[in-house]
Amino acid sequence: MIVGGRVELRELRSFVAVAEELHFGRAAARLGLVQPAVSQHLGRLERELGLRLLDRSPHRVALTPAGRRLLAEVRAALSGIDRIRDVAEAFGRGLGRTLRIGSTPGLERRLADGVTALRAIAPPSELVLVEGDARAHAAAVASGALDAALVRGAGPDGVVVGYDPISLVVPTAHPAARLDAIPPAALEGLRLRLPARRSDPVLHDAVLAHTAAAGVVPHRGRDVASVADAALEIGAGGTAWTAIHGTTWQATTCSVTLRPADPPLTVPVRLLLPAGGSCTDLLVEAFGGTG
């Protein structure tokens, strides 16, 4: 129970410093204060909270049970305040530094929309886009080489900022091409041509999970090197189908047709962010609104 007046930030920061150093002199040096000031801050905080937070003796400083319990809450409160200041400074001054974002082929529109929103909120001094795959981007974000990255697919890291549709490519002469959306059963009799899993695991796994959910086991053809090559082969032979990310594609042949899947087939798009990044909230705001 708080029995005194208001709690001040300097008192909370002094408490965290002493709790982590377990030494008033080292805590004072860390805070750039004199030791009596830190002692005054701790005494005032204990009076305001009505709790004894530290056991003091000439030879040691130790946290009381109340101090140990309160330490986690104070750290969380100070972290939240620091985030507020980061956001306020970014809004007031712009990001003021080079921002490095990892991009993924096929997500150019989402990336462009996010960058446009970011420039309106808090423009960086310079923007650098780095193309790569999800695995490389995740490592680069974790190491600090990238400030963020847009990648497809489910995973434990990052923030889901939208869902990317997957469309089906079928021979124009096949009956499935006349449907508004194609269920897996309508593709029986055609061979499925996909990129090798190592080159696009998200597309590969999503398509096979989609057909399995419908109880369909597709006849697999050989792996394709690219969608463009697959389309040429499908248009020429008419006995296969494939899938691509997105809903539009500049076809190289008029003998294939692009259709959505039935039920709709999508994969999540994640914004990968470093732990404790100073502009995390701004990036989520900018890219989270891109649909």
CA 25 – CA 284 distance, rounded (Å): 41
Higher pLDDT, 183 or 188: 183
Residue-wise pLDDT tens digits, 70-89: 898 888 888 767 766 665 55
Question: Of 77-81, 112-116, 205-209, 219-223, which gets the smallest average pLDDT?
Answer: 77-81
Helix (H) or strand (E) holding 164: strand 159-171
Nearest to 158 by CA among 269, 273, 266, 267: 273
**Packing angle between helix 9-21 and helix 24-31, nearest 10 degrees?**
130
For residue 191, the model assigns a pLDDT of 92
Residue-wise pLDDT tens digits, 211-256: 999 999 999 988 887 777 777 778 777 789 999 888 876 655 568 8
Give how far the C-alpha of residue 135 lies from the chain's centroid of Cα atoms, to the nearest Å. 13
Helix (H) or strand (E) holding 110: helix 108-121
E-strand ranges in 172-280 read 191-192, 219-220, 240-245, 256-260, 266-272
Q: Is the model's pLDDT at 94 over the cut of 60?
A: no
Question: pTM of the entire structure?
Answer: 0.63
Q: Residue range 138-153: average pLDDT?
A: 90
